[in-house]
Amino acid sequence: MKDFEKLFQEYSVETDETIINDEIEKILTQTPLNHNVNTILYGCLDYTSLNCTDNEDHINKMVEHINNNIKTDVAAICVYPYFVNTVKTNLRKNGVNIAAVSGGFPSSQTFQEIKIAETNLCLLEGATEIDAVLPVGLFLDKQYEYISDEIHELKELCGDRKLKYILETGILNNPNEIKNASILALEFGADFIKTSTGKDKKGADKKSVFIMCQVIKLFNEKYNKRVGVKVAGGVNSIEEAKEYAKIVSAILGEDYLNKRTFRIGTSRLEKQLFELI
């Protein structure tokens, strides 16, 4: 059995909320952003549709909108598993990834065999990225062995394709749990850690992204490997997106602000940013 408590202690991450809030305030007031930030943010978008009312016509129109964009490209189009083939069939942009939510999205409350099978089907249909979800109930019950094995299996299945692991930070109880969930995801194979599904009442927040970026920085130093961060759930304005970009830039470096290591999961900002680039 793995010694998870020892593993968590290897990461010296600030979890005092007062200190975190003070640090975030400094970052937001003192960190400059590239003058081309709107174009950078557009290129980091996971253009997303995860609605109960989604159908092929809606997804086709979404894909065609991206096909017709001659200015620049979003990072990915993110859809439910059923629509992966629809995106693949209609997408004419080689640089845009096809992301599928999988693994019992959004609650992750299903059998591990189902998660593996669904992920495999998504990959066979043409997904180039998988957004899977931490089973929060098991995590809070400290079922770390089960979760670590599941993450490892999902990443083995993905191979070179990206596994973005959703922590659902808004329903974790405290900064220490956000820290430990981040460590667990990265140590066992996730290529990105992501804040939220967008389906719970609380989505992304600056405190969680600050903690996640601290863990990523230490992970990068430990393994000499760059992993990414995705902000999703309730990012409704360009100003909010810029604030998250400042946190990422301040902790991980301005060169992190590209689609290989930074994503924003939203559809709301696409039009707003498009009009500014």
Domains of the chain, each with CATH number or no CATH = 4-274 (3.20.20.70)
Q: Does residue 211 register a pLDDT over 90?
A: yes
Q: Does residue 180 register a pLDDT over 80?
A: yes
pLDDT of 173: 85
Catalytic residue, candidates 194, 206, 207, 259: 194
List the beta bridge partners of residue 132: 165
Q: Does residue 229 register a pLDDT over 90?
A: yes
Region 249-257: what's the mean pLDDT? 97
Catalytic residue, candidates 73, 131, 191, 205: 131
The distance of Cα 185 from the centroid of its chain, to the nearest Å, equals: 12
Q: Pull the structure tokens for residue 31.
A: 């960190």
pLDDT of 83: 98
Region 73-83: what's the mean pLDDT? 98
pLDDT of 162: 98
Q: Percent of the chain, pLDDT > 90? A: 95
Alpha helix segments (H runs only) across the chain: 4-9, 17-30, 37-43, 56-67, 84-90, 112-125, 136-140, 144-158, 175-187, 206-223, 238-252, 268-274
Q: How far apart are CA 265 and CA 143, in angstroms?
A: 28
Query: pTM (2 decimals)?
Result: 0.96
List the beta bridge partners of residue 190: none
Catalytic residue, candidates 162, 230, 246, 259: 230
pLDDT of 247: 98
Region 2-26: what's the mean pLDDT? 97
Query: Measuring CA to CA, which residue among 202, 204, 249, 260 is closest to residue 227?
Result: 260
Query: Measuring CA to CA, which residue among 83, 76, 81, 75 is closest to residue 58?
Result: 83
Contact by Cβ (8 Å): 209, 248: yes
pLDDT of 122: 98
Q: How far apart are CA 150 and CA 133, in angstroms?
A: 11
Distances (CA, A) of 57 to 33, 74, 83, 250: 38, 20, 10, 41
pLDDT tens digit sequence for 107-154: 999 999 999 999 999 999 999 999 999 999 999 999 999 999 999 999
Active site residue 194: yes
Q: Does residue 1 register a pLDDT over 80?
A: no
Return mean pLDDT, the chain.
96
Active site residue 230: yes
Active site residue 179: no
Confidence class of residue 201 from pLDDT cuts 50, 70 and 90? confident
Distances (CA, A) of 258 to 112, 230, 240, 254: 32, 11, 17, 9
Q: Percent of the chain, pLDDT > 70? A: 100
